[in-house]
Structure 1
Protein backbone atom coordinates (compact mmCIF):
# COMPACT_ATOMS: atom_id res chain seq x y z
CA UNK A 1 0.00 0.00 0.00
CA UNK A 2 1.38 3.40 -0.87
CA UNK A 3 0.32 6.69 0.66
CA UNK A 4 0.79 9.95 -1.19
CA UNK A 5 -0.08 13.54 -0.33
CA UNK A 6 -1.82 15.16 -3.28
CA UNK A 7 -0.63 18.75 -3.39
CA UNK A 8 -3.18 20.01 -5.94
CA UNK A 9 -6.17 17.65 -6.07
CA UNK A 10 -8.87 18.19 -8.67
CA UNK A 11 -11.79 18.50 -6.28
CA UNK A 12 -14.84 20.72 -6.84
CA UNK A 13 -16.27 22.12 -3.61
CA UNK A 14 -18.98 24.75 -3.30
CA UNK A 15 -17.08 28.03 -2.60
CA UNK A 16 -19.53 29.03 0.17
CA UNK A 17 -19.05 25.71 1.95
CA UNK A 18 -15.28 25.93 1.54
CA UNK A 19 -15.20 29.42 3.10
CA UNK A 20 -17.31 28.17 6.02
CA UNK A 21 -15.00 25.18 6.61
CA UNK A 22 -11.86 27.33 6.37
CA UNK A 23 -13.18 29.78 8.95
CA UNK A 24 -14.10 26.94 11.33
CA UNK A 25 -10.65 25.39 10.97
CA UNK A 26 -8.93 28.72 11.65
CA UNK A 27 -11.15 29.34 14.69
CA UNK A 28 -10.57 25.91 16.18
CA UNK A 29 -6.97 25.40 15.07
CA UNK A 30 -7.58 21.92 13.68
CA UNK A 31 -5.78 19.85 11.06
CA UNK A 32 -7.92 18.03 8.49
CA UNK A 33 -6.77 15.02 6.45
CA UNK A 34 -9.01 13.99 3.52
CA UNK A 35 -8.27 10.48 2.24
CA UNK A 36 -9.08 8.72 -1.01
CA UNK A 37 -8.69 4.95 -0.62
CA UNK A 38 -8.85 3.04 -3.92
CA UNK A 39 -9.58 -0.70 -3.98
CA UNK A 40 -8.37 -2.27 -7.29
CA UNK A 41 -10.86 -4.09 -9.55
CA UNK A 42 -8.69 -7.21 -9.58
CA UNK A 43 -8.83 -7.62 -5.81
CA UNK A 44 -11.48 -9.35 -3.74
CA UNK A 45 -12.07 -6.08 -1.98
CA UNK A 46 -10.69 -5.07 1.36
CA UNK A 47 -11.65 -3.73 4.74
CA UNK A 48 -10.47 -0.57 6.43
CA UNK A 49 -10.85 1.09 9.80
CA UNK A 50 -9.04 3.69 11.85
CA UNK A 51 -7.80 3.32 15.38
CA UNK A 52 -8.54 6.11 17.85
CA UNK A 53 -4.81 5.99 18.61
CA UNK A 54 -4.00 7.93 15.42
CA UNK A 55 -1.87 11.04 15.87
CA UNK A 56 0.03 13.83 14.17
CA UNK A 57 3.59 14.26 15.46
CA UNK A 58 5.45 17.56 15.11
CA UNK A 59 8.96 16.56 14.00
CA UNK A 60 10.63 19.49 15.77
CA UNK A 61 9.05 19.12 19.20
CA UNK A 62 7.40 16.52 21.40
CA UNK A 63 3.91 17.76 20.44
CA UNK A 64 1.28 15.16 19.52
CA UNK A 65 -2.09 16.17 18.02
CA UNK A 66 -4.94 13.80 18.80
CA UNK A 67 -7.69 12.71 16.45
CA UNK A 68 -10.89 14.46 17.53
CA UNK A 69 -13.28 13.35 14.77
CA UNK A 70 -13.58 10.99 11.80
CA UNK A 71 -16.07 10.83 8.91
CA UNK A 72 -16.92 7.94 6.55
CA UNK A 73 -14.61 5.41 8.20
CA UNK A 74 -15.30 3.07 11.09
CA UNK A 75 -13.35 3.09 14.33
CA UNK A 76 -11.61 0.03 15.75
CA UNK A 77 -12.84 -2.66 16.48
CA UNK A 78 -15.34 -2.47 13.60
CA UNK A 79 -14.40 -2.89 9.93
CA UNK A 80 -15.68 -1.09 6.84
CA UNK A 81 -16.04 -3.06 3.59
CA UNK A 82 -14.40 -1.69 0.44
CA UNK A 83 -15.69 -3.56 -2.63
CA UNK A 84 -13.40 -4.18 -5.64
CA UNK A 85 -12.98 -1.08 -7.80
CA UNK A 86 -14.41 1.25 -5.20
CA UNK A 87 -13.25 4.74 -4.28
CA UNK A 88 -13.62 5.33 -0.56
CA UNK A 89 -13.40 8.83 0.85
CA UNK A 90 -12.90 9.54 4.53
CA UNK A 91 -11.80 12.45 6.68
CA UNK A 92 -9.83 12.65 9.92
CA UNK A 93 -9.77 15.79 12.08
CA UNK A 94 -6.97 16.41 14.59
CA UNK A 95 -6.29 18.98 17.27
CA UNK A 96 -4.06 21.82 16.12
CA UNK A 97 -0.31 21.69 15.62
CA UNK A 98 2.06 24.26 17.17
CA UNK A 99 2.31 27.47 15.14
CA UNK A 100 6.03 26.91 14.50
CA UNK A 101 5.50 23.35 13.18
CA UNK A 102 6.65 23.05 9.55
CA UNK A 103 6.71 19.27 9.06
CA UNK A 104 4.85 16.43 10.76
CA UNK A 105 4.05 12.71 10.62
CA UNK A 106 0.64 11.01 10.57
CA UNK A 107 0.80 7.70 12.45
CA UNK A 108 -1.95 5.23 13.26
CA UNK A 109 -0.65 3.38 16.31
CA UNK A 110 -2.17 -0.10 16.36
CA UNK A 111 -1.40 -3.79 16.61
CA UNK A 112 -3.24 -4.70 13.40
CA UNK A 113 -1.65 -7.57 11.45
CA UNK A 114 -2.46 -5.88 8.14
CA UNK A 115 -0.43 -2.81 9.01
CA UNK A 116 -1.40 0.74 9.75
CA UNK A 117 -1.80 4.08 8.02
CA UNK A 118 1.47 5.99 8.27
CA UNK A 119 2.61 9.01 6.32
CA UNK A 120 5.95 10.64 7.11
CA UNK A 121 7.35 14.12 6.56
CA UNK A 122 4.17 15.97 5.62
CA UNK A 123 5.04 19.59 4.80
CA UNK A 124 2.67 21.90 6.59
CA UNK A 125 0.61 24.28 4.49
CA UNK A 126 -1.23 27.50 5.38
CA UNK A 127 -4.70 25.93 5.53
CA UNK A 128 -3.88 22.78 7.55
CA UNK A 129 -6.10 20.85 5.12
CA UNK A 130 -4.47 17.92 3.28
CA UNK A 131 -5.59 15.49 0.57
CA UNK A 132 -4.06 12.01 0.69
CA UNK A 133 -4.38 9.25 -1.90
CA UNK A 134 -4.00 5.60 -0.88
CA UNK A 135 -3.51 3.27 -3.83
Structure 2
Protein backbone atom coordinates (compact mmCIF):
# COMPACT_ATOMS: atom_id res chain seq x y z
CA UNK A 1 0.00 0.00 0.00
CA UNK A 2 1.41 3.37 -0.96
CA UNK A 3 1.62 6.09 1.67
CA UNK A 4 0.48 9.63 1.00
CA UNK A 5 1.97 12.79 2.37
CA UNK A 6 -0.35 15.70 3.15
CA UNK A 7 1.17 19.08 2.38
CA UNK A 8 -0.46 22.41 3.18
CA UNK A 9 0.66 23.90 -0.15
CA UNK A 10 -0.79 23.41 -3.59
CA UNK A 11 1.55 23.80 -6.50
CA UNK A 12 0.02 25.28 -9.58
CA UNK A 13 1.50 26.89 -12.64
CA UNK A 14 -1.67 28.94 -13.05
CA UNK A 15 -1.09 31.16 -9.98
CA UNK A 16 -0.13 34.62 -11.23
CA UNK A 17 2.73 36.52 -9.65
CA UNK A 18 1.59 39.36 -7.38
CA UNK A 19 2.71 42.76 -8.69
CA UNK A 20 4.84 44.84 -6.34
CA UNK A 21 4.23 48.56 -6.23
CA UNK A 22 7.52 50.42 -5.76
CA UNK A 23 7.77 53.30 -3.29
CA UNK A 24 7.95 56.68 -4.99
CA UNK A 25 11.36 58.32 -5.03
CA UNK A 26 11.66 61.74 -3.42
CA UNK A 27 14.28 64.12 -4.73
CA UNK A 28 16.86 65.09 -2.09
CA UNK A 29 16.38 68.80 -2.88
CA UNK A 30 12.70 68.48 -2.02
CA UNK A 31 13.51 66.67 1.23
CA UNK A 32 16.00 69.41 2.16
CA UNK A 33 13.35 72.08 1.53
CA UNK A 34 10.83 70.48 3.92
CA UNK A 35 10.86 71.85 7.46
CA UNK A 36 12.45 69.23 9.77
CA UNK A 37 9.53 69.26 12.20
CA UNK A 38 7.25 68.21 9.34
CA UNK A 39 9.28 65.03 8.86
CA UNK A 40 8.79 63.95 12.47
CA UNK A 41 6.72 60.81 12.81
CA UNK A 42 7.05 60.31 16.54
CA UNK A 43 4.76 61.28 19.39
CA UNK A 44 5.13 62.94 22.77
CA UNK A 45 3.67 61.10 25.78
CA UNK A 46 2.61 63.15 28.80
CA UNK A 47 1.55 61.19 31.88
CA UNK A 48 -0.55 63.53 34.02
CA UNK A 49 -1.21 63.20 37.75
CA UNK A 50 -4.16 65.06 39.26
CA UNK A 51 -4.40 65.24 43.05
CA UNK A 52 -8.10 64.82 43.80
CA UNK A 53 -8.96 66.37 47.15
CA UNK A 54 -12.73 65.86 47.11
CA UNK A 55 -15.22 63.03 46.63
CA UNK A 56 -16.73 62.48 43.19
CA UNK A 57 -14.67 65.06 41.30
CA UNK A 58 -15.23 65.49 37.55
CA UNK A 59 -12.38 65.97 35.08
CA UNK A 60 -12.04 66.31 31.29
CA UNK A 61 -9.62 67.47 28.61
CA UNK A 62 -10.29 69.81 25.72
CA UNK A 63 -9.06 69.04 22.21
CA UNK A 64 -7.56 72.54 22.28
CA UNK A 65 -4.72 71.30 24.48
CA UNK A 66 -1.22 71.82 23.12
CA UNK A 67 2.45 71.52 23.87
CA UNK A 68 3.94 74.93 23.13
CA UNK A 69 7.66 75.38 22.38
CA UNK A 70 8.93 78.11 24.74
CA UNK A 71 11.34 79.54 22.14
CA UNK A 72 9.32 79.49 18.92
CA UNK A 73 5.70 79.22 20.03
CA UNK A 74 5.29 76.17 17.77
CA UNK A 75 2.38 73.96 18.89
CA UNK A 76 2.08 70.19 19.03
CA UNK A 77 -1.53 69.04 18.86
CA UNK A 78 -3.30 66.59 21.12
CA UNK A 79 -3.65 63.33 19.19
CA UNK A 80 -5.10 60.96 21.78
CA UNK A 81 -6.12 60.82 25.45
CA UNK A 82 -6.36 57.79 27.76
CA UNK A 83 -8.30 57.57 31.04
CA UNK A 84 -9.89 61.01 30.60
CA UNK A 85 -12.88 62.21 28.56
CA UNK A 86 -12.82 64.85 25.86
CA UNK A 87 -15.02 67.89 26.53
CA UNK A 88 -18.00 68.20 26.62
CA UNK A 89 -18.07 64.78 28.35
CA UNK A 90 -16.75 64.33 31.90
CA UNK A 91 -14.81 61.59 33.68
CA UNK A 92 -15.87 60.95 37.29
CA UNK A 93 -13.08 60.48 39.82
CA UNK A 94 -14.87 58.51 42.55
CA UNK A 95 -12.46 58.89 45.47
CA UNK A 96 -9.85 61.13 47.00
CA UNK A 97 -6.30 60.46 45.80
CA UNK A 98 -4.10 60.79 42.76
CA UNK A 99 -5.81 60.26 39.41
CA UNK A 100 -3.65 59.68 36.36
CA UNK A 101 -4.26 59.95 32.64
CA UNK A 102 -2.17 59.96 29.49
CA UNK A 103 -2.06 62.59 26.76
CA UNK A 104 -0.39 61.86 23.41
CA UNK A 105 0.72 64.76 21.23
CA UNK A 106 2.21 65.17 17.77
CA UNK A 107 5.99 65.59 17.72
CA UNK A 108 7.72 68.67 19.06
CA UNK A 109 10.19 70.49 16.79
CA UNK A 110 13.64 68.89 16.95
CA UNK A 111 15.22 72.10 18.26
CA UNK A 112 12.74 72.41 21.16
CA UNK A 113 14.41 72.25 24.59
CA UNK A 114 11.58 73.49 26.84
CA UNK A 115 7.81 73.61 26.40
CA UNK A 116 4.52 74.29 28.19
CA UNK A 117 1.40 72.13 28.40
CA UNK A 118 -1.52 74.48 27.72
CA UNK A 119 -5.23 73.66 27.69
CA UNK A 120 -6.98 76.54 25.93
CA UNK A 121 -10.58 76.59 27.14
CA UNK A 122 -13.40 79.17 26.95
CA UNK A 123 -13.81 79.12 30.74
CA UNK A 124 -11.62 79.25 33.86
CA UNK A 125 -9.76 76.15 35.02
CA UNK A 126 -7.71 74.97 32.04
CA UNK A 127 -4.57 72.93 32.73
CA UNK A 128 -1.29 74.82 32.39
CA UNK A 129 2.11 73.36 33.21
CA UNK A 130 5.07 75.62 32.43
CA UNK A 131 8.74 74.98 31.69
CA UNK A 132 8.80 71.25 30.98
CA UNK A 133 12.38 70.34 30.05
CA UNK A 134 12.66 68.24 26.89
CA UNK A 135 14.21 64.77 27.14
CA UNK A 136 15.39 62.26 24.54
CA UNK A 137 12.53 59.82 25.11
CA UNK A 138 9.76 62.45 24.77
CA UNK A 139 7.97 60.82 27.71
CA UNK A 140 7.02 63.12 30.59
CA UNK A 141 5.34 62.93 34.00
CA UNK A 142 3.62 66.11 35.21
CA UNK A 143 1.49 67.08 38.17
CA UNK A 144 -1.64 68.91 37.10
Would the TM-score normalized by the shorter structure come out above 0.5? yes
CA shift, 1:50, in A, is 0.1
Q: Does 1:92 align with 2:103?
A: yes
Q: What is the rounded CA distance, in whole Å, between the counterparts of 1:76 and 1:46 in structure 2?
A: 15
Q: What is the rounded CA distance, in whole Å, between the counterparts of 2:57 and 2:137 in structure 1?
A: 32
Q: Does the aligned pair in 1 maintain the 2:60–2:87 contact within 8 Å?
A: yes
TM-score after normalising by structure 1: 0.72
Post-superposition, which runs of at least 4 consecutive aligned residues in structure 1 deviate over 4 A? none
Match of 1:55 among 26, 41, 66: 66
Partner of 1:36: 49
Structure with more relative contact order (C-alpha pairs < 8 Å, separation 6 or more): 1
Q: Output one character per residue of 1:48-107: Cα deviation in whole Å (capped at 9) or x when no partner.
A: 000000001111113110001111100000011112324322100000011110000110
Q: Does the aligned pair in 2 maintain the 1:39–1:83 contact within 8 Å?
A: no
Q: Does 1:112 align with 2:97?
A: no
Structure 1 or 2, whichever has the larger Rg, is 2
TM-score after normalising by structure 2: 0.67
Superposed CA RMSD in Å reads 1.5
Structure-2 change in CA distance of 1:45 and 1:125 (3 Å): same
Q: What is the rounded CA distance, in whole Å, between the counterparts of 1:44 and 1:69 in structure 2?
A: 27
Q: Does 1:72 align with 2:83?
A: yes
Partner of 1:16: none
